[in-house]
Amino acid sequence: MSEIPLSQPDITQADIDAVTEVMRSGRLSIGPRRDLFEELVAERCQRHEAVAVSSGTAGLHLLMIALGIGPGDEVITTPFSFIASANCILMVGATPVFVDIDPQSLNLDPAKLEAAITPKTKAIVAVEVFGNTRHMDQIEKIARNHEIPLIEDACEALGATCRNRPAGSFGRASVFGFYPNKQITTGEGGMIVTDDSYLADACRAMRNQGRPESGPQAASPPATSTVPGDACGSWLAHDRLGYNYRLSEIASALGVSQMRRLDSFLEKRTAVANQYIQRLKDWDDLMLPNVNPGEGDCTSWFVFVVRLSPSYGATERDRIISGLRRHEVGASNYFPCIHLQPFYRQTFGFKRGDFPIAESISDRTIALPFYNNLDDTQIELVCHTLKVMLQREQLLKR
Ligand SMILES: *Cc1c(COP(=O)(O)O)cnc(C)c1O
């Protein structure tokens, strides 16, 4: 029996050809593939601007800086997410303010969000956890009413919709990530999308050491440069502190090739999720993810995460995950609560009990193998192994 991994990218000959072509072209960074990749993603989420970056985390970091967020500022976010959605707040020295989640959608609870807003709140980072867009429209409305910029962390939600609007179209700006377990991959990579051209230009400059890449400054460098020996005009004029968060042409070519197949990826993923749901729906010990989305909502399946019933705790859950792995079935505890991570506990004094809904759910989740080409036999094997592990827990309880 061979291993069934937790996730696996879908790489075809077309992807390999696209990458090979770049290698032969001699142009390996800052070129036409990046521009095309940006266009495709912007078009998909109905935004005017897209800025390709080296990771989703880099995109979130740049947005925090571009919004002028720093020490003394508060940024509201969810404790139930991949840690990058909160780390970006710490990167600029601001204070993360966590708000507990809705137990069905697993996203920020809009009802609790409003109460957490203070005069120090400078942004909201809302995540579409596991590709579920639920509440993003309500969160956008709250942010707008309070005139607080909303950053949509859509890193898990490429291709999803919320009230018939695409993920990536909410708030002031949105971010996607292209790590190999995401809906599409560039190996490592990310994309900022926005309708705010000022914000986009600031991010473009900061991904490239702080030099203006487009817009009026780049088009017409100052007649007399203030940079000594700046014979190249704006190319070496660094207006602000920047980073190297560029996305290579190699990665961008893979991104273009993958974007062209996004719809077929989404279909395959939906079929896999439906297979799991069919097989697991009558199991008393399990709660399945979001099977009843609202009107105009469409989940983009990122992972398939089941939840054990409240009679289980973290110890049993961890034992089940170990059991699955021992039988060569990939499994993981998506997500451990961010506020309970050692670094967050030490720095901010968070403790168990601070966000009870996120904690209770986080203790009982199991991510099962999930990827485009997971076939029915493998799904059957995963479900069978999970059943054995659950029966084992029942016996241990007696
Ligand atoms: C994947 C992901 C990111 C970005 O991750 P990178 O590995 O930096 O591309 C950010 N937020 C969430 C919620 C994610 O799942």
Q: How far is the CA of 387 from the centre of ligand 1 (A)?
A: 31
Alpha carbons 61 and 51: distance in angstroms, whole number: 13
Residue at token pair 């993003």: 136
Pocket of ligand 1 (CB under 6 A): 55-57, 81-82, 84-85, 127, 153, 155-156, 177, 179, 190
Residue in 46, 50, 41, 69 with CA at minimum distance from that of residue 207: 50
The amino acid occupying position 176 is: F
Q: Which atom of ligand 1 is nearest to the CA of 189?
A: 9
Q: How far is the CA of 123 from the centre of ligand 1 (A)?
A: 18
SS3 of 254, please? helix
Please state the pTM of the whole predicted model.
Answer: 0.94
Q: Residue 337, Cβ neighbours under 10 Å: how many?
A: 23
pLDDT tens track, the chain, 398 positions: 469 999 999 999 999 999 999 999 999 999 999 999 999 999 999 999 999 999 999 999 999 999 999 999 999 999 999 999 999 999 999 999 999 999 999 999 999 999 999 999 999 999 999 999 999 999 999 999 999 999 999 999 999 999 999 999 999 999 999 999 999 999 999 999 999 999 999 999 999 999 887 544 454 444 444 555 444 444 556 778 999 999 999 999 999 999 999 999 999 999 999 999 999 999 999 999 977 778 899 999 999 999 999 999 999 999 999 999 999 999 999 999 999 999 999 999 999 999 999 999 999 999 999 999 999 999 999 999 999 999 999 998 87
Answer yes or no: CATH 3.90.1150.10 is held by domain 262-397: yes
CATH for 13-259? Answer: 3.40.640.10
Q: How far is the CA of 391 from the centre of ligand 1 (A)?
A: 35
Domain extent listing, the chain: 13-259, 262-397
Q: Which atom of ligand 1 is nearest to the CA of 81?
A: 13
43 Cβ contact list (under 8 Å, min separation 6): none
Q: How far is the CA of 4 from the centre of ligand 1 (A)?
A: 23
Residue 214: predicted pLDDT:
57
Q: How far is the CA of 119 from the centre of ligand 1 (A)?
A: 28
Residue 353: predicted pLDDT:
98
Residue 236: predicted pLDDT:
59
Residue 292: predicted pLDDT:
72
Q: To test the ligand 1 pocket, which listed residue (90, 133, 153, 247) has its Cβ within 8 A of the most ligand atoms? A: 153
